[in-house]
Structure 1
Amino acid sequence: MRHTVHFLCPVNMSTVSGLQDACLKALGNGATQINLHISSPGGELLAGFTAYHFLKSLPVPVHTHNLSNVESIATVIYLAGCDRRVNPGSRFLIHPLQWGFTNHAADHARIAEWVRSLDNDMKRFIDILTAETKNSGTDWYAKIENASFIDAENAVSFGLADCEIRATLEGSVTNWWVNC
């Protein structure tokens, strides 16, 4: 039974918890396949990597579909799909990773740790892009550094998506929504 989960949210620990909850409810209700319809401006790196690894751990196939915009760390979530589709007219945005700082006092050692952590997150992002696009030969580091918009057609040629096709709910037994 195919269940569809709709993730139309920024990526943060609350929305990723909602994604996990929706997927686990789908499994509890007999899902043998999960379609993840996603449109997201991205968000928190930790939450995005957590969602990717959670989706990869599920005991059923996860198919992802870019409905409109999959940006920044949401790209990693999208890449968790074993079958990845993209709507005509949709796009991806990959850009330099960033953190926000509010009310943080830091010494030199702490700032150096943050730099190393951000460098490690960039490596993890590129490792996932490279592995999931089957080493398509794309220079993902350059694409990220240049803040690249990737349209549906190029997403297929770069290996981000398997095909460009309009999303449908046909065959979906149940729909689940992640609340933002």
Structure 2
Amino acid sequence: MPFDPSKIRARLASEKKPYSIRNLAGGEADVMLYGEIGWLGTTADEFVADIKALSASQINLHLSSPGGSVFDGIAIMNALRAHPAPVTVYVDSLAASIASVIAMAGDRIVARQGAEFMIHEAAGLSVGNADEMREMAELLDRQSDKIAGIYAARAGGSVEDWRAAMKRETWFSAQEAVDAGLADEVDQPTRESERAPGELAVAASWDLSVFRYAGREQAPAPEPVALERESHTLHGDIRTLIGEEVATQLAAAVAPPAEPVVETTPVEPEPEPPATEPEAEEPAAVDEWAAMTAHLTQDEPDAWSVLVSTLTTTASSSAATEA
């Protein structure tokens, strides 16, 4: 934020805190956090001490701030998260810079009609040599990664996705913040909600020229951030609101169809027939008559043939011996 000596003088001259906490009936508490975050506005040490001492069953944080100190803002966010009571954040007018990180402390985040969100990379001043400048650049990169991780944890997407949106200095209208996952709903105006943010006019007094764009009207439309939301899952808070039975029915309705299971009845194999021993072949019947008459059919040897056969066999044996 630009340097404004008048704010320093006003802060030193007044002991009034730049935020207020008011206890309501039924255990609720309204916390009004307007103005800069840090030593020109709400500091973490005062705010965190008061939040820790707050005994409430529900905290309603009304937020409208152009941002300020990264370290104070993160400490404020963590103090709200650590409180045992549920926290509903109402962005009454502007949640810019580190104030958009404080908004992420809400269990429920409501963007009022006409409200705006702005995210950008961490910035700072440094005086010194080249090593000191590099140290500052590394510090700013670490803080920007940390902030991008907070957005990603709330809205989905990756640190790289949100760093890219932060580099562009992205402004969101109330509905655009809901679409991006930075808020849960846009508040429908009622008589009560119209009266609640009595200090909304303070936003007109902020000098937004320190930013690249002086509000959503001067900024281009936000580019979609690649979201990695869980599908086919109902969160616990939704189940509480609609009931376990209805939640189970909704989960079944949105879940992808399961693979059909075909039930089959096992078919018992047919029993194999018992093995039978091969029948032994009956020996051929002996023709007794043929056996008795066989000698009658054989020719008697010719005497000349017997003599020649004997001579041939003897000659062949002698030749084989000589060979």
Take 1:43 and 1:154, find their aligned partners in 2: how far apart are those partners?
Answer: 23
Structure 2 equivalent of residue 152 of structure 1: 174
Asked if structure 2 preserves the Cα contact closer than 8 Å seen for 1:129 and 1:140, the reply is yes
Determine if the alignment matches structure 1 residue 12 to structure 2 residue 34. no
Corresponding residue pairs, total: 164
Gaps of at least 5 residues in structure 1 are 171-180
Aligned runs of 1:123-162 on 2, under 5 Å? 123-135=145-157, 139-162=161-184
Structure 1 equivalent of residue 60 of structure 2: 35
* Stretch deviating more after TM superposition (146-155 or 15-24): 15-24
In the TM superposition, what is the alpha-carbon distance from 1:134 to its structure 2 partner? 3.5
Asked if structure 2 preserves the Cα contact closer than 8 Å seen for 1:49 and 1:77, the reply is yes
Amino acid at match of 1:9: G
3-state SS of 1:139 partner: helix
Q: Any idea what the Cα deviations from partners look like across 1:62-81, whole Å, max 9, x if unmatched? A: 11110001100111101011
In the TM superposition, what is the alpha-carbon distance from 1:167 to its structure 2 partner? 7.3
Amino acid at match of 1:35: N
Please point out which of 76, 80, 92 is paired with 2:117. 92
- Report which structure shows greater RCO (CA 8 Å, sep ≥6): 1
In the TM superposition, what is the alpha-carbon distance from 1:8 to its structure 2 partner? 0.5
Asked if structure 1 preserves the Cα contact closer than 8 Å seen for 2:155 and 2:181, the reply is yes
TM-score using structure 2 length: 0.47
Please point out which of 22, 28, 32 is paired with 1:2. 28
3-state SS of 1:98 partner: coil
Take 1:167 and 1:73, find their aligned partners in 2: how far apart are those partners?
Answer: 26
Distance 1:100 1:107, change over 3 A: closer
Asked if structure 1 preserves the Cα contact closer than 8 Å seen for 2:29 and 2:60, the reply is yes
Take 1:138 and 1:34, find their aligned partners in 2: how far apart are those partners?
Answer: 32
Distance 1:169 1:32, change over 3 A: farther
In the TM superposition, what is the alpha-carbon distance from 1:138 to its structure 2 partner? 9.6
Q: Which structure has the highest strand share of the two?
A: 1
4+ long deviations beyond 4 Å: 166-170
Among all aligned residue pairs of Structure 1 and Structure 2, give the percentage whose two residues are the same amino acid.
29
3-state SS of 1:124 partner: helix
Structure 2 equivalent of residue 174 of structure 1: none
Take 2:191 and 2:160, find their aligned partners in 1: how far apart are those partners?
Answer: 32
CA RMSD of aligned residues (A): 2.4
* Stretch deviating more after TM superposition (47-56 or 67-76): 47-56
3-state SS of 1:74 partner: helix
Which of these two proteins has the greater Rg computed from alpha carbons? Answer: 2
3-state SS of 2:105 partner: coil
3-state SS of 1:113 partner: helix
* Stretch deviating more after TM superposition (108-117 or 2-11): 108-117
